Amino acid sequence: MPADDAGEVLLASMKLNGIDRIWFTSGSEMGFVQEGSVKARELGRPAPRVMTITHEAVALAAACGETVVTGKPSAAAFHVECGMLNAGGMYHVADRGRYPVLVTSGYPSSAEANSVPGARSSFIQYYQQIRDQGELIRQYMRWDHKLAPYDNPGTVISRAVQVMLSDPRGPAYLAIPRESSMAPIASGQTRFPLTDQLRPVSAPPPDAALLREAAAWLLASNNPLIVAGRVGTSHEALAPLVELAETLGARVMSDAHRLSFPGSHPLHRGVAGVTPLTGQPDCILSLDQLTPWIPGRFDPGPDVRLIRIGLDPAERWVPIYEFPSDLSIVGDAVAAIPLLVDEIRRQRTPEQRRACEARLEKAQEEGRQRLARLVATAESDRARGVIHALWLSHQIGQTLDPETLVVQETVETALFNRTLPGTQVASGGSNLGWAAPASVGMKVAAPDRQVVSVTGDGAWMFSNPQVTTWASAFHKAPVLFIIFNNRGYRTGTTDVERAYPEGYVARTGDFTGGLFDPCPNYSGEASASGAYGEKVTEPDQVGPAIRRGLAANREGAPAVLDVWLPKIGPGLPTAR
C-alpha cells in the first residue's frame, strides 16, 4: 500500500486491523495522528476516525466502552508521560476488565536538532524524558513496545492487536517517538501482515473428562451454588446459564462486570463478593470468577466443594490468593456451560431429576419472596418521602425499556430489571469514574441505542464530568447520566466504621474525609455546559425525571439527573 512516512503506516494498520476510532488527546509528539488522518481522508486511504477528547482518563474509558459494544479493538492517543499519567486508574480498568484497547503515546524527541525529521525542537522535550516510559503502565498491559526507526510500523500494530485480542483480552501500549512517526518510507510503498494472518489465540475448550466429573459433583450436591463471573462478556452465556441453573435447581450469584444472569430471575441471589453466600452451599461452581466469596466475611462451610472453570483457575496474576479449588478446569467457561447442561442431563438419574425439580421450586419461591421484599422496601421508603437507593434502582428498572444499555457503578442492581444480554455493564475493575465516560464510547459505537450511566456522586466526580458531558454533546452521543447523590463515600464512612467498630470515628460520628456536604451543583454544571440538568429530591418525581432525561436524549442533548438520597451513614443502603 502507498505511504510516505511511518505515521501514515501506523494509522493504516490500525484501520486495517479493525480499529475504527482513536480517542485522541492532543500532544506535540502525536501530530502524525492529525496530519495522517486528514491526508488519508483526502487521498482515500485507510485510517481510524480521530475522536477529540480533552482528558486522557475520559479518552481511555470511552475507548473501553466502544469495545463493549463492537467487540473490536479500539485505540487511545496521549501526550508523552504526562498524558499517560493523566489517564491514571483507567489502565487498571482496561486490564482487569479485559478491554482490547491500544494505548499509544508520544515519546520525547532525542535526536539532535535538524538531524532527522521530528528531532528536538523545544526545551520541553528535555523535561519530558524518563528512563523507561513503558514502565509506568507495564503491569497493566498485555504487551508494550517503543517504536524504533527500523521497525515495520504496520507489523508492530498487527502484533499489538493480535495480543490484545488473544484470550484473556486486554490492553497494549506503544510508545511512538516523533522521529519514528515521521521517518520517511523511501519506496513510498509498504507491506505488512494483518491480524487475520497472525491469528489471535482463543481460549481452549474445557476438558470433557473433567466436565463429566464436575457434572457428577453438581448432581450429588444437595445445595449447589453457581457463581458467574466474566462469562457475561459473551452474549452467548446468559441463556445457557439460566438453563443450567434451572436444570440443577441451583441458586446463582453473579459478578457485576456484565449481565451473566438476570437480577430479576428468582434464582438470582445478588452480587458475588458483595452479598453473603446464600443457602449454605455444599458445592460451588465458579465460572471465571476471581472472588466467589470474601474470606472472613462470607465464608462457605468447611465441607464445601469448589469447582473452578476459567482461563486460569489459579489466578496466577494475583500475588496472594487463598481460595481453594477441589476441581480446576482450564478453558473457555462460556463454552463449558452448555456442555455441562448436556452432561448433567445425560448422567442424572430419575431420583436426581426429581431432587433438582424440587430444589428449583423451593429456590424460585425464595427468590420471588426476596425480590418482593426489595420492592416492598423501596415502596416503603417512597411512602415516607425518602429516595433511597432501592427506590431509585426500582424506578430505573420500571422506566427503561428492555433494550436500554445500563452502565453502572453502584452496588445493588437486582431492581434494574435487565434481562437481555449486553444490557448491563460495569467496569470489571475497582477504579471509579469509568461508567460515565465509557457510556459515551458505547453511545458513539451504537448511536441508535439508549445508553444510561448510573453512578454514585463520588464516582461522578471521578469521571471528569465537565469533559464527559462535553464529549457526549460534541460527539452527538447523548447519554442519560443518573447520579445517586449521598454526599459522601462509602469507603470513608461505613467502611471505616466496619474496620473500627469501637474506634473514635464511630464514637464521635466524625467522618471527616468521607463526606462532602455541601456538594457541587451537578445539575447546574450540566445546564451550564448545554446539557439537560435536573435535581430530584422527591421520590414521586424520580420516574418522571428519568422520562424527561430520556426525552432530552431523543432531542440530542445529554442529560444529568442529580438524585438526592439521604446523606451516607452507617446502615443506609447506598452507592458510593
Decide: 331 and 206 in contact? Cβ < 8 Å.
Answer: yes
Q: Once rounded to an integer, what is the mean pLDDT over residues 440-448?
A: 99
> Cell 504496520 belongs to which residue?
154
Task: Report the pLDDT value the prediction gives residue 568, as an integer from 0 to 100.
Answer: 80
What's the confidence (pLDDT) of residue 68? Answer: 98
Domains and CATH numbers, the chain: 6-198 (3.40.50.970), 208-366 (3.40.50.1220), 385-564 (3.40.50.970)
**574 pLDDT band (50/70/90 cuts)?**
very low
Per-residue pLDDT tens for 90-100? 999 999 999 99
Query: Given this model, what pLDDT does residue 139 score?
Result: 97
**Percent of the chain whose predicted confidence (pLDDT) is above 70:** 98
Write the pLDDT tens digit of every residue in 328-338.
Answer: 999 999 999 99
Count helices and strands (H / E) in the chain: 21, 18
Cis, bond preceding 206 (omega within 30 deg of 0) = no
- Average pLDDT (383-402) is 95
Band (pLDDT 50/70/90 cuts) for residue 120 is: confident
Taking 60 as the threshold, does the pLDDT of residue 570 lie above it?
Answer: no
pLDDT in tens, 41-91: 999 999 999 999 999 999 999 999 999 999 999 999 999 999 999 999 999
Residue owning grid cell 466436565: 211
Could you check whether the bond before residue 518 is cis, i.e. omega within 30 degrees of 0? yes
Please give the average per-residue pLDDT across 197-217, as a whole number.
Answer: 97
**Distance in angstroms (rounded) separating the CA atoms of residues 444 and 70:** 11
Residue 411 confidence (pLDDT): 72
Question: What pTM does this model have?
Answer: 0.95
Per-residue confidence (pLDDT) for residue 107, from 0 to 100: 95
What is the average pLDDT across 542-568? 96
Radius of gyration over every alpha carbon of the chain, rounded to an integer in angstroms: 25
How much is the average pLDDT of 181-204?
A: 94
Cβ atoms of 496 and 515 within 8 Å: the answer is no
Average pLDDT over every residue of 110-124: 86
The residues, ordered by sequence, that sit 6+ positions from 245 with a Cβ below 8 Å of its Cβ are 226, 251, 252, 261, 265, 267
Asked whether the beta carbons of 399 and 424 are under 8 A apart, the reply is no
Task: Give the count of alpha carbons within 13 A of 133, CB side only.
Answer: 26
What is the predicted pLDDT for the residue at 569?
A: 65
pLDDT at 529 over 80: yes
Q: Please provide the average confidence, as pLDDT, over all residues in the chain.
A: 94
pLDDT value at position 576?
Answer: 36
Using left for φ > 0, alpha for ψ between -120 and 50, and beta otherwise, residue 428 falls in: left
Rounded to whole angstroms, how far apart are CA atoms 110 and 125? 8
φ, ψ of residue 307 to 5 degrees: the values are -105, 125
Q: Distance between CA atoms of 560 and 529, rounded to whole angstroms? A: 11
Instruction: Determine the average pLDDT of the residues in 318-326.
Output: 93
Per-residue confidence at 575, pLDDT binned at 50, 70, 90? Answer: very low
Query: What's the rounded mean pLDDT across residues 103-111?
Result: 92
